[in-house]
């Protein structure tokens, strides 16, 4: 480590050498590596990362059926929503979704604030709605159904169709396996940094993992607090570790 210190403390380092150092630093920043050298403790802190492409194995999708009605029409609108839910359920089961994977939410009645009364004595209009939620271990099927709901709207149903959420049920397993790979990457980077200095990477002094990043495939959209993309089936899971090694 003292050789690294002598190099940076030398006031007459050639311009070519300085340029080489600058290029190395730029390359390290571009490859997601954070480096801290502590001369007093003879340690080197490096951030390593590991990624794996993963496909979602679970999908959650909600369809909301709506009917508007004035107060006197609420019983009829409620019955219509119940009938609509049966049509939606039939649409799903006919496509291969198990009835056990379909959940009907409570029927809600709320004032329709988008309705503009013609005068203060005009009746209040309401929205009667019910959620039909399906959870499936076949994300590709859910994706296909979400793109083809015209058969429902063609029957007069008034729907609010949410985008499906594509999830990874066994994410903790990837977190564990990738943490080990990220640690190996951190050591390899540390060894590359000290290569040629006459020093060597010693035992691990401390380590911590960063937030897990679940991104769309081949994305680099990361966050300090972690991110979880639910809009795509194919994803990239990334785990980072911050490791401090002794330098001998």
pLDDT (0 to 100) of residue 198: 84
Mean pLDDT by groups of 10 residues along the chain of 248 residues = 43 40 39 47 92 96 97 96 97 96 98 89 94 97 95 94 96 92 96 90 94 90 90 96 95
Q: Are 159 and 149 in contact (CB under 8 A)?
A: yes
Dist CA 236 CA 216 (whole Å): 6
Q: What is the pTM of this model?
A: 0.77
Kindly give the pairing relationship between strand 234-247 and strand 43-55. antiparallel
Q: Are 194 and 201 in contact (CB under 8 A)?
A: yes
CATH number assigned to the domain with residue range 58-167, chosen from the 4 options 1.10.3470, 3.10.450, 1.10.287, 3.30.70: 3.30.70
CA 242 vs. chain centroid, Å, equals 21
Query: Cβ contacts of residue 180 below 8 Å, gap of 6+?
Result: 50
**Burial category of 146 from C-beta neighbours within 10 Å (exposed 0-12, middle 13-18, buried 19 and up):** middle
pLDDT (0 to 100) of residue 36: 53
pLDDT (0 to 100) of residue 41: 66
Dist CA 246 CA 224 (whole Å): 27
Kindly give the pairing relationship between strand 35-38 and strand 43-55. antiparallel
pLDDT (0 to 100) of residue 220: 81
Q: What are the DSSP E strand ranges found in the chain?
A: 35-38, 43-55, 58-70, 102-104, 108-111, 125-136, 159-161, 165-167, 201-209, 213-216, 227-228, 234-247
Residue 102 has which token pair? 């379909």
Domain ranges of the chain: 2-55+172-225+239-247, 58-167
Whole-number CA gyration radius for the chain: 29
CATH number belonging to domain 2-55+172-225+239-247: 3.30.110
Q: What are the DSSP E strand ranges found in 117-233?
A: 125-136, 159-161, 165-167, 201-209, 213-216, 227-228
Q: Are 49 and 182 in contact (CB under 8 A)?
A: yes
Q: Report the run of H or E that residue 83 belongs to, with start and end.
A: helix 74-94
């Amino acid at each position: 480590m003292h050789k690294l210190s002598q190099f940076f403390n030398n006031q007459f380092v050639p311009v070519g050498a300085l340029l080489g150092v600058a290029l190395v630093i730029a390359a390290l920043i571009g490859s997601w590596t954070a480096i801290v050298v502590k001369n007093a403790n003879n340690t080197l802190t490096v951030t390593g990362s590991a990624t794996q492409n993963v496909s979602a194995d679970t999908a959650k999708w909600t369809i909301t059926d709506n009917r508007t009605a004035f107060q006197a029409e609420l019983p009829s609108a409620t019955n219509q929503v119940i009938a609509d839910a049966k049509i939606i359920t039939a649409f799903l089961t006919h496509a291969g979704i198990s009835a056990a994977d379909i959940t009907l939410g409570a029927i809600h009645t709320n004032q329709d604030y988008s309705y503009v009364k013609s005068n203060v004595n005009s009746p209040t209009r309401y929205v009667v709605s019910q959620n039909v939620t399906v959870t499936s271990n076949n994300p590709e099927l859910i994706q296909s159904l979400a793109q083809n709901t015209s058969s429902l709207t063609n029957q007069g149903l008034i729907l609010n169709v949410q985008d499906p959420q594509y999830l990874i049920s066994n994410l903790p397993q990837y977190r564990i396996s990738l943490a080990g790979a990220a640690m190996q990457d951190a050591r390899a980077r540390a060894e590359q940094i000290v290569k040629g200095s006459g020093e060597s990477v010693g035992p691990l002094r401390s380590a911590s993992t960063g937030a897990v990043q679940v991104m769309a495939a081949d994305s680099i959209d990361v966050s300090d607090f972690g991110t979880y993309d639910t809009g795509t089936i194919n994803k990239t899971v990334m785990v980072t570790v911050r490791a401090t090694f002794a330098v001998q």
